[in-house]
């Protein structure tokens, strides 16, 4: 069961540190928002069970959520409510870049520190803001990683795609990613033969699939949220559209467990995913704290931990670290502590980063992802090479639909 506020006994009201978290708990990105929520709650529970914030006499974390409904105007309203009515010490969220971008303007205006969770639009941390910090990748990093993976597979096999089509959701996230892909692709000798923005919540992708078929690309780079990515993948499978070097998704729907529950395995076979954490490393870790978070989020959600749950947990531990070092819930002091963060060990690094340290714009320059490929029903890391398991063999090029099992 998920709770709007994390309860911690009768003393909570007198000894709590309120953290506001604006997330899409309903609307098109609800599954992702609730995964992030579960991760944040699981981490807060751990922190509280371990004695709370020791520099504040054991004060417990109280996580107060706002539902953005995946809408920018609602996100702004909920942010203002969390700051002015709930009087939170800090904020986190909001996954959708189109929501996070204006909502963080509210946080900056009220001088309330915000730890970005999930949103990658470059400009979020390129506005000279002092109260906005991002742990995860920005869009530039995502695009570079996707093309780095293409280059690695081409180098390993001697087979390189020449043409790329792009299909992306038409708001801040998708457009930011597409702009970066175009910039990197030109420098690396890839020809963009289709640049297609899609409105949200479509009921049919036939028109876009027709354009892809007509452009005859070697590969397609996709940036879609869960509902749209489900529909697109289902229709692509039904139309048996062959793409010699496959689908390359930048997170979004393809990091959401709900996406895989909603499709037959054939629809996602051989798909490449830019991941915000290394999903196949969870089985190899002995870190009891991380394993406990994974188990707790599974209890809440009914399925295994996702990148989004890991990001929610990481945000809570980053904030707890700053609270311990500042010894204060004063927003200005807490802001200064977050800015001075240099985390090189512990559960804040659950997402797989080696370090969390923010530059002058609030971006963690040590953020990175990995690229996986869906192989035999599991996402296996194939890039970077040092993260690839010895048993993992990328399939490149990908087989035509007529050559696949069950065709």
Nearest residue to 314 (alpha-carbon basis) of 347, 339, 287: 347
Pairing mode of beta strands 378-383, 370-375: antiparallel
Q: Do the domains 10-137+285-357 and 140-275+376-403 sit in the same CATH topology, yes or no?
A: yes
Residue 30, pLDDT above cutoff 50: yes
* Cα–Cα distance for residue pair 199/168, rounded to 1 Å: 9
3 state DSSP class of 260: helix
Model pLDDT for residues 236-260, shown as the tens digit of each residue: 999 999 999 999 999 889 999 989 9
Model pLDDT for residues 325-375, shown as the tens digit of each residue: 999 999 999 999 999 999 999 999 998 888 999 999 999 999 999 999 999
Cα atoms found within 13 Å of the Cα of residue 371, Cβ hemisphere only = 26
Q: Hey, what CATH class is 10-137+285-357 in?
A: alpha beta
* Cα–Cα distance for residue pair 159/155, rounded to 1 Å: 7
* Cα–Cα distance for residue pair 200/208, rounded to 1 Å: 13
Q: Do 277 and 351 contact (CB within 8 A), yes or no?
A: yes
Phi, psi for 167 (deg, rounded to 5): -130, 125
Q: How confident is the model at residue 105 (pLDDT cuts 50, 70, 90)?
A: very high
Model pLDDT for residues 190-247, shown as the tens digit of each residue: 999 999 999 888 899 999 999 999 999 999 999 999 999 999 999 999 999 999 999 9
Q: How confident is the model at residue 6 (pLDDT cuts 50, 70, 90)?
A: very low
Q: Which helix (H) or strand (E) holds 106?
A: helix 97-109
pLDDT at position 402:
94
3 state DSSP class of 283: helix
pLDDT at position 292:
94
Q: Which two structure tokens, joined as six digits, stand for 151?
A: 């280059």
pLDDT at position 251:
87
Residue 11, pLDDT above cutoff 60: no
pLDDT at position 252:
87
For 113-141, give one letter per residue: b (16+ CB within 10 A) or e: bbbbbbbbbbebbeeebbbbbbbbbbbbb
Above pLDDT 90, what percent of the chain?
86
For the chain, domain boundaries: 10-137+285-357, 140-275+376-403
Q: Which two structure tokens, joined as six digits, stand for 328?
A: 């204060």
**What is the CA 198 to chain-centroid distance, rounded?**
20
pLDDT at position 304:
81
* Cα–Cα distance for residue pair 76/130, rounded to 1 Å: 18
* Cα–Cα distance for residue pair 282/275, rounded to 1 Å: 13
pLDDT at position 277:
84
pTM of the model: 0.86
Model pLDDT for residues 33-85, shown as the tens digit of each residue: 999 999 999 999 999 999 999 999 999 999 999 999 999 999 999 999 999 99
- Architecture of the structural domain at 140-275+376-403: 3-Layer(aba) Sandwich (3.40)
Q: Which two structure tokens, joined as six digits, stand for 44?
A: 């807060």
Q: Do 310 and 318 contact (CB within 8 A), yes or no?
A: no
**What is the CA 262 to chain-centroid distance, rounded?**
19
Q: Please state whether the peptide bond connecting residue 221 to the residue before it is cis, i.e. omega within 30 degrees of 0.
A: no
């Amino acid at each position: 069961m998920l709770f709007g506020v994390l309860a911690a006994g009768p003393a909570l009201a007198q000894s709590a540190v309120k953290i506001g978290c604006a997330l899409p708990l309903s609307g098109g990105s609800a599954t992702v928002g609730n995964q992030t929520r579960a991760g944040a709650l699981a981490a807060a529970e751990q922190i509280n069970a371990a004695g709370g914030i020791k520099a504040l006499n054991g004060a417990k974390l109280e996580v107060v959520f706002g539902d953005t409904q995946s809408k920018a105007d609602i996100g702004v309203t909920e942010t203002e409510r969390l700051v002015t009515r709930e009087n939170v010490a800090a904020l986190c969220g909001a996954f959708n870049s189109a929501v996070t971008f204006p909502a963080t303007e509210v946080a900056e205006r009220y001088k309330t520190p915000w730890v970005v969770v999930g949103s990658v639009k470059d400009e979020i941390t390129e506005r000279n803001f002092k109260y906005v910090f991002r742990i995860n990748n920005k869009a530039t990093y995502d695009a570079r990683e996707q093309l780095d993976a293409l280059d690695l597979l081409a180098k390993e096999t001697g087979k390189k795609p020449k043409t790329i089509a792009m299909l992306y959701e038409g708001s801040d996230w998708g457009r930011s990613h597409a702009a970066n892909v175009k910039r990197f692709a030109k420098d690396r000798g890839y020809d963009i033969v289709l640049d297609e923005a899609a409105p949200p919540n479509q009921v049919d992708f036939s028109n876009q699939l027709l354009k892809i078929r007509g452009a005859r690309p070697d590969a397609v780079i996709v940036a879609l949220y869960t509902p749209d990515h489900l529909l697109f993948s289902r229709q692509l499978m039904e139309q048996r559209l062959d793409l010699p070097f496959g689908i390359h998704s930048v997170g979004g729907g393809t990091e959401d467990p709900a996406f895989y529950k909603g499709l037959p395995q054939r629809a996602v076979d051989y798909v490449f995913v830019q991941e915000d954490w290394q999903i196949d490393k969870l089985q190899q870790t002995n870190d009891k704290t991380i394993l406990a978070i994974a188990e707790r989020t599974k209890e809440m959600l009914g399925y295994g931990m996702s990148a989004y749950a890991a990001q929610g947990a990481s945000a809570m531990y980053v904030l707890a670290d700053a609270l311990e070092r500042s010894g204060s819930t004063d927003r200005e002091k807490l802001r200064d502590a977050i800015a001075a963060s240099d985390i090189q060990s512990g559960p804040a690094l659950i997402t797989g980063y080696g370090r969390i340290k923010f530059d002058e714009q609030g971006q963690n320059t040590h953020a990175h992802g990995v690229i996986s490929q869906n192989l035999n029903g599991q996402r296996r890391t194939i890039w970077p090479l040092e993260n690839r398991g010895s048993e993992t063999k990328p399939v490149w090029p990908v087989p035509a639909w007529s050559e696949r099992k069950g065709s």
